[in-house]
């Protein structure tokens, strides 16, 4: 049986895919899960985050090249970790390949109208993949960089459930996430016990509950 795969995808860049991928992986590693993070974006944001060598899990650069998804899948199938977190690139081809292998898909969404439109486009790609999959694919939309003091921050809580997928806990607009990147750490090692750390723990709880029962054993 292949290891469970969590794919973090969005059609729009700059919505926090890498932040969520790194911080979620850090929290799952804290829970004793042997995992690897796969950076599929040629810009290499996750790879850059890992450069100081302070993450407690490996980050592997493996871009998804147009027309080469089968080669990429072979690479993923050769990886031997208990779980994989895939940080997807912001394009339809990469999204399709990443969610085709996924057991859970996470779609970060910021509070702007452009972020919401990118989320809608990503969900269209996911639905196309779902139609060809033999197994269901749970999707969690994660409100990210949310400031409840702004109108946009308050509205996103009402808008995202209308997209028809599960909505995860909100991640706030917090400097701890930025500083964790600058330090090359995940949030649970940079600021344990902080509000940001609590947000990521709540997301990890929901992700683990969303794994199929056969994959959940040993991870819950």
CATH number, span 5-209: 3.40.50.300
Find the range with the poorest average confidence among 7-16, 99-108, 151-160, 179-188.
151-160
Report long-range pairs for 213-220 (Cβ below 8 Å, ≥24 apart): 214/1, 215/4, 215/103, 218/82, 219/4, 219/28, 219/31, 219/33, 219/82, 219/83
Residue 7 is encoded by which pair of tokens? 């794919």
The pLDDT value given to residue 219: 58
Proportion of the chain above pLDDT 70, given as a percent: 96
β-bridge mates for residue 166, sequence order: 140
Q: Rounded to two decimals, what is the model's pTM? A: 0.94
pLDDT of 64-79, one tens digit each?
998 899 999 999 999 9
Q: At what angle do helices 113-130 and 92-101 cross, to 10 degrees?
A: 50
Q: Is the pLDDT of residue 1 over 80?
A: no
Segment 110-128 shows an average pLDDT of 95
Query: Could you state, in order of their start, the residue ranges of all structural domains in the chain?
Result: 5-209
pLDDT of 31-42, one tens digit each?
999 999 999 998
């Amino acid at each position: 049986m292949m290891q469970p795969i969590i794919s973090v995808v969005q059609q729009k860049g700059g919505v926090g895919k890498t932040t969520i991928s790194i911080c979620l992986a850090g929290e799952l590693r804290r829970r004793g899960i042997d995992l690897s993070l796969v950076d599929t974006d040629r810009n290499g944001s996750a790879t850059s985050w890992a450069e100081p060598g302070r993450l407690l899990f490996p980050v592997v650069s493996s871009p998804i090249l147009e027309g080469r998804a089968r080669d990429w899948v072979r690479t993923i199938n050769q990886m031997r970790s208990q779980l994989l977190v895939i940080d997807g690139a912001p394009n339809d081809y990469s999204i399709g390949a990443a969610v085709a292998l996924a057991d859970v898909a996470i779609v970060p969404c910021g509070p702007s109208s452009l972020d919401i439109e990118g989320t809608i486009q990503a969900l269209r790609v996911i639905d196309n993949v779902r139609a060809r999959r033999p197994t269901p694919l749970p999707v969690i939309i994660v409100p990210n960089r949310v400031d409840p003091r702004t109108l946009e921050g308050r509205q996103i809580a009402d808008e995202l459930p209308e997209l028809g997928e599960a909505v995860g806990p909100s991640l706030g607009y917090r400097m701890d996430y930025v500083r964790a990147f600058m330090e090359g750490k995940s949030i649970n090692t940079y600021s344990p016990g902080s509000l940001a750390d609590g947000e990521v723990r709540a997301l990890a709880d929901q992700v683990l509950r969303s794994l199929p029962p056969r994959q959940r054993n040993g991870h819950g």
